Amino acid sequence: MATRLGLTYEDYLAFPDDGRRHEIIEGEHFMTPSPITRHQRACGNIYALLREHARRSGAGKVFIAPMDVVFSDEDVVQPDVLFISTARAAIITEKNIQGAPDLVVEVLSETTRKTDLSIKRKLYAASGVLEYWVVDPELEAVSVYRAGQAGYDRAAELSLETKDSLKTPLLPGLSLPLCEIFL
């Protein structure tokens, strides 16, 4: 008889709807309180800008948390923002996303910094997420990671101070000035 090592998607579905973000990674429960204003402002701005570009170009669909991304029975997360290309639209179901989005964006907060920078970064790389943006609203900076030979390679380190813009080969023609993200 097999021994269950941790929590599963079935357990996840039983978590309370309490305004907190619940996720399971490698069967372990992670819970964070609702985000602060600066976090939500950056998430909303990124979502709106990506969504408009994806809609105009027909590149794919953009979602904002809460949206379950099910990598496996023991790995269910809710990224802040995610993009799925038209070519991979089959992973979008009525209830959740079944597999790796093309792009995942996490906006750091005091309670999620460690998880976003290490645990989730490893999970996203291992699960096949092609690009991962880590947005730091406190420093007004963005780190861009792209899939490489052995996990992620840091593709860019951008900051509001240097008037940088976010670009990605996943969304040709996209150029997001950081000043529009950190309004």
Q: What is the CATH number of the domain that holds 55?
A: 3.90.1570.10
Distance CA 141, CA 152 (A): 18
What is the per-residue pLDDT for 168?
96
The tens place of each residue's pLDDT in the chain, 183 residues long, gives: 445 569 999 999 999 888 888 999 999 999 988 888 999 999 999 999 999 999 999 999 999 999 999 999 999 999 999 999 999 999 999 999 999 999 999 999 988 999 999 999 999 999 999 999 999 999 999 999 999 988 999 999 999 998 899 999 999 999 999 999 998
What is the per-residue pLDDT for 1?
46
Residue-by-residue DSSP string for 103-156: EEEEE--TTTHHIIIIIHHHHHHHHT-SEEEEEETTTTEEEEEEEETTEEEEEE
Structural domain count of the chain: 1
8 in any annotated domain = no
Distance CA 183, CA 180 (A): 5
The model carries a pTM of 0.93
Is there a contact between 78 and 40 (Cβ–Cβ < 8 Å)? no
Question: Among candidates 99, 179, 94, which has minimal Cα distance to 142?
Answer: 179
Distance CA 43, CA 10 (A): 28
164 in any annotated domain = yes
What is the per-residue pLDDT for 109?
92
Sign of CA dihedral 10, 82, 47, 154: positive
What is the per-residue pLDDT for 82?
98
13 in any annotated domain = no
174 secondary structure, DSSP code: -
124 in any annotated domain = yes
**Which residues constitute the domain of residue 118?**
36-181
57 in any annotated domain = yes
